[in-house]
Amino acid sequence: MKFIDEAIIEVHAGKGGNGVAAFRREKFIPKGGPSGGDGGKGGSIWAVADRNINTLIDYRYARIHRARNGEQGQGSDKYGAGAEDITLRMPVGTLVIDAETEQTVTDLAEDGQRVLLAKGGRGGLGNLHFKSSINRAPRQCTPGEPGESRRLKLELKVLADVGLLGKPNAGKSTLVAAASNARPKIADYPFTTLSPQLGVVRVGEGQSFVIADIPGLIEGAADGAGLGHQFLRHLQRTRLLLHLVDFAPQDAEGQTEAAIGKRLAAEVKALAEELTRYDAGLAAKPRWLILNKADMLTEDLRDRRWAAMNKTLKWKGPVFYTSGLTREGLGPLMQQIQLWLASISATEAAVLPSPQSPL
């Protein structure tokens, strides 16, 4: 299935049915009085988050969603039938934005979350409601109210605990395939990954987390260069970022360790600047440095290259040597991620008030 993470739709709720003015005219019932019923309500349109859906492809082609109108009231005290509501099922993580005002309507962050997008119009009142002791034959009735109409922009932000970022061909897809149940496309050319890939990493019994691989970023991604601009928002919901670096670039042959280290440090800084330009909150997320493809270097060469790189980078966070091809270093890395996520969850739970504590 093609991955679609943006769509623009129109939702039109149904109009309420009109009330009617009618009078009872039955045999043996003189002066029957008013008997006009109310109109039925128009159908509303709801959005529901469904974890079984992972793309907005249905809304790329079905752009207009229109609910039915309520039925008109009838005589003999008969009310018009209300129209059925329409439910639009969307992936968990969908952001619904009003296309006219750019205001967020809702953020479908939890499975089963249900939100009203467009309210159906109320039915009109029949003349049954206007009778009184001084107005025994009312001829008033009211029309049904129009339903709401909206033009909405849908943006999908995938839900993952850990997000991978790095330049094209840094080995992100290979690492995700080696560590999780995801099977992304892997090839020896840039931009192999054209859409976000999610994988579940199982560390132990009852211990797992979700990792997301997004297309490679290049300098200028925040301004639309490459493919990264389209998918940077998928990292906004993650708790931890893993910054992958190709620690053994193929075109580095013949260069000194100092030159290679300086070049790799510049690449890390450039992508960090792209995150800041796109979203300061995204750049402020915890970020670990992953020196990938380390199996191609000896232990001594790794240390010398990292020393040369960090001389310019001045990195103070966690650093890991890994290899997606041989799985070297993946076990300890995934264990550390699981421990870190567990500690963050425990901290968040401690901050929340207990059910017994007063508000």
In this prediction, residue 320 has a pLDDT band, given cuts at 50, 70 and 90, of very high
How big is the CA angle at 150 (ends 146 and 82), to the nearest 5 degrees?
40
- State the pLDDT at residue 264: 92
Q: How far is CA 56 from the centre of its chain?
A: 10
Percent of the chain with pLDDT strictly greater than 90? 37
Mean pLDDT in residue range 182-199: 52
- State the pLDDT at residue 3: 60
- Kindly tell me the burial class for residue 61, based on how many C-beta atoms sit within 10 Å of its own C-beta (0-12, 13-18, 19 or more): exposed
Residues 232, 224: Cα–Cα separation, whole Å: 10
In this prediction, residue 189 has a pLDDT band, given cuts at 50, 70 and 90, of very low
In 3-state terms the chain splits into helix, strand, coil percentages (rounded to 5) of 25, 25, 50
Residue 12, φ and ψ in degrees, nearest 5: -130, 110
Judge whether 327 and 282 are in contact, CB under 8 Å: no
Tokens of 244: 């992958």
- State the pLDDT at residue 182: 52
Over the stretch 262-301, which tens digit does the pLDDT of each residue have? Answer: 999 998 998 888 888 888 888 888 999 999 988 888 999 9
Residues 261, 337: Cα–Cα separation, whole Å: 26
DSSP label at 336?
H
Residue among 104, 84, 79 nearest 94 (CA): 104
Over the stretch 46-87, which tens digit does the pLDDT of each residue have? Answer: 999 998 887 888 898 889 999 999 999 998 889 999 999 999
Residues 286, 215: Cα–Cα separation, whole Å: 20
Residues 129, 325: Cα–Cα separation, whole Å: 77
Judge whether 150 and 117 are in contact, CB under 8 Å: yes
Higher pLDDT, 233 or 98: 98
Name, in order, each residue with C-beta under 8 angstroms of 319's C-beta and a sequence gap of 6 or more.
Answer: 288, 289, 290, 291, 306
Residue among 306, 292, 8, 1 nearest 150 (CA): 8
Q: 74-98 in b/e burial notation, b at 16+ Cβ within 10 A?
A: bbeebbbbbbebbebebbbbbbbbe
In this prediction, residue 222 has a pLDDT band, given cuts at 50, 70 and 90, of very low
- State the pLDDT at residue 255: 85
- State the pLDDT at residue 197: 73
Instruction: Give alpha helix (H) positions in the chain.
Output: 57-61, 172-179, 228-231, 257-278, 280-283, 299-313, 330-351
**For all residues of the chain together, what is the average pLDDT?**
83
In this prediction, residue 41 has a pLDDT band, given cuts at 50, 70 and 90, of very high
Residues 33, 263: Cα–Cα separation, whole Å: 90
The pTM score is 0.68
In this prediction, residue 181 has a pLDDT band, given cuts at 50, 70 and 90, of low
- State the pLDDT at residue 251: 76
Residues 130, 252: Cα–Cα separation, whole Å: 87
pLDDT at 233 over 90: no
Please name each of the domains of the chain with its CATH number.
6-156 (2.70.210.12), 162-351 (3.40.50.300)
Higher pLDDT, 51 or 8: 8
